[in-house]
Chains A and B, each alone.
Chain A
Amino acid sequence: MADSAVKPVIELKNVKKVYGKDVVGLKDINLTINKGEFVVIVGLSGAGKSTLLRSINRLIDITEGDILINGESITKAKGKELRMLRRNIGMIFQSFNLVKRSSVLRNVLTGRVGYYPTWKSTLNLFTKEDKQRAYDALQQVDLADKVYTRADELSGGQQQRVAIARVLTQDPDIILADEPTASLDPQTSRRVMQDLRMLNEKHGMTVVINLHSVELAQEFGKRVIGVRAGEIIYDGKMSETPKETFDQIYSGGDQDE
């Protein structure tokens, strides 16, 4: 996967994040993720997985270093430039983050806001093609019949699949998923992971997922990155990663929350 002929889409260069004065979130992270990879990041709660993921689309500003998306620095981007870069990075959240009082269709269309000038999306002037695109996305996650339902009437698993349809409609090159299955039951979790795999294999999107569950990581991940105390302590292909490595990543009794 990581051979040099492949084009890097995400590059983290000496990335450091300090919260407040001295709480270290990330320590000098160097990481390259190539096009089409399916990466799972594993580690204990508080190890820095979320910080790592959220710094990639700059929901968190890093303290030092640089992050490149397709060769462009998102760290230095401003205003419209930043919005254009973010448009190319979809995100799936642990708590789904749908607008609960809006319809499923409107939630899915939210994925398109980056493609419109603000006044147009404010007036709800989405094109017919984009509405169809949203409906197509819902069909791919088997929720076509819920298109006009209010989001809060759906179950947790359905809501997460609406979030996946939202990302599909956004049509990015990169998907970041922050603990996408942490609030779902095992069966629904697998369904969501399969949808993410579909985005990777069928649509060629690069997928980076934070995961708690070792079983899901082993089943779906192709590349594993282990994080502990703000550092990358393991990086390798899933097929070559023995079970003990996961134990090591999750042991590390010397670090706290």
Chain B
Amino acid sequence: MDTSMKKLPPKPVDQKKRVAHWALAIVTILLIVWSCTGIDFGGIKQTAGQIAGAIFSGIFHPDWSYVYNGTGEDLVSQLWDTVCIAFLGTFISAIISLPFAFWAAHTRHKKWYVSRVGKIVLAIIRSFPEIVLALMFIKAVGPGSAAGVLALGFHSVGMLAKLFSEAIENLEDGPNEAVTAAGGSKTNVVMFSILPNLLPALISNTLYRFDVSIRSASVLGLVGAGGIGYPLIIALQYRQWNRVGIILLGIIIMVIVIDWISGWIRKKLV
């Protein structure tokens, strides 16, 4: 690059790059065209616009009678079910996550590969979508809330243990040293120094995960793992648009309220 006062030279032409860019563009277009041919657009019915409109109007004309009717099949009971699934699932995963977190935290091991292996295991757990897990647990324990709880409990470990282990890695080592210097064992260090220092991060991350689990739990019912997803898919199949509307409204309110509460608690913690 010349810095003296000359005219700005034209951008140097890099033939290789130019070819690469064009190739990339062509491949992208080809991919789009190819994937479009893979989809059978004949499947989109002429009524598509009409149904979309029906769902939309359903949201504005919700079926209020479904909110509560005392049968246990109404909106409030189903939402409560969803909250319970998310809560239990998160609780279970928080407990399972703790040992995994210590495994994956690199500050707790002298050998670098121990925590690396732990991190890989967590990545593998994370890579299973909860819907896939729910389908597997439905086969194992039958359809219903139990499958949902197990699916969420297992899936959340991947993310929660990762967050926990990062919190452990961020702890200062001083208090741990003090326990060691007094003749404490490794367990003493964990019980007297690490856990008390870690507690705010544990609670905050678990609440955050609870937020996420609420959303997941709303969907799990679609495959029959309990919660609000099941009545939603039934209402969709029977084209009860007013009911679809009230369910969607219910989910939105539930997510917002829980978000707000957990955000409030987390703020208090700091």
A100 nearest CB neighbor, chain B only: B197
Specify which chain A residues have a CB less than 8 angstroms from the CB of B183 in the assembled complex.
Answer: 83-88, 113-115, 170
Is A26 close to B, CB under 8 A?
no
Specify which chain B residues have a CB less than 8 angstroms from the CB of A57 in the assembled complex.
Answer: 181
Would you call B199 and A89 a contact (CB within 8 A)?
no
CA distance A101 to B183 in the complex (A): 21
Instruction: Output the least CB separation between A110 and chain B (Å).
Output: 5
Would you call A122 and B191 a contact (CB within 8 A)?
yes
Among B178, B181, B185, B192, residue most surrounded by chain A Cβ atoms (within 10 Å): B181
Instruction: Output the least CB separation between B179 and chain A (Å).
Output: 6
Interface string of B180-206 (1 = CB under 8 A from A): 111111011001110011011000000
Question: In B92-148, which residues have CB < 8 Å from any A CB?
Answer: none
Q: How many residues of B contact A (CB 8 A)?
A: 21
Interface string of A76-109 (1 = CB under 8 A from B): 0000000111111111010111111110001000
- What are 27 A-B pairs with beta-carbon distances under 8 A? A86-B180, A91-B182, A95-B172, A95-B174, A98-B175, A99-B193, A99-B197, A100-B197, A101-B199, A101-B200, A110-B179, A110-B182, A113-B179, A113-B182, A113-B183, A113-B185, A113-B188, A114-B182, A114-B184, A115-B183, A118-B187, A121-B188, A121-B191, A121-B192, A163-B178, A166-B178, A170-B182
Is B177 close to A, CB under 8 A?
yes
Specify which chain A residues have a CB less than 8 angstroms from the CB of B180 in the assembled complex.
Answer: 59, 86
Number of A-B residue pairs with CB-CB distance less than 8 Å in the complex they form: 84
Would you call B187 and A93 a contact (CB within 8 A)?
no
CA distance A111 to B192 in the complex (A): 11
CA distance A84 to B184 in the complex (A): 9
Specify which chain A residues have a CB less than 8 angstroms from the CB of B178 in the assembled complex.
Answer: 91, 93, 97-98, 110, 163, 166
Specify which chain B residues have a CB less than 8 angstroms from the CB of A170 in the assembled complex.
Answer: 182-183
Would you call A97 and B174 a contact (CB within 8 A)?
yes
Query: Given A93-B177, A99-B197, does the pair A122, B182 have CB atoms closer than 8 Å?
Result: no
Instruction: Output the least CB separation between B268 and chain A (Å).
Output: 15
- Beyond A101-B200, A113-B184, A122-B187, 7 extra complex contacts between A and B, CB < 8 Å: A90-B181, A91-B177, A91-B181, A99-B193, A110-B192, A113-B185, A122-B191
Would you call B182 and A166 a contact (CB within 8 A)?
yes
Instruction: Output the least CB separation between A59 and chain B (Å).
Output: 6
Binding site for B on A (CB under 8 A): 57, 59, 83-91, 93, 95-102, 106, 110-115, 118, 121-122, 163, 166, 170, 176
B199 nearest CB neighbor, chain A only: A101
A121 nearest CB neighbor, chain B only: B188
Specify which chain A residues have a CB less than 8 angstroms from the CB of B177 in the assembled complex.
Answer: 59, 91, 93, 97
Specify which chain B residues have a CB less than 8 angstroms from the CB of A89 in the assembled complex.
Answer: 181
Query: Given A113-B192, A121-B188, A122-B188, does the pair A99, B175 have CB atoms closer than 8 Å?
Result: yes
CA distance A113 to B183 in the complex (A): 7
CA distance A122 to B179 in the complex (A): 13
CA distance A96 to B175 in the complex (A): 8
CA distance A210 to B147 in the complex (A): 60
Instruction: Output the least CB separation between B269 and chain A (Å).
Output: 11
CA distance A112 to B177 in the complex (A): 15
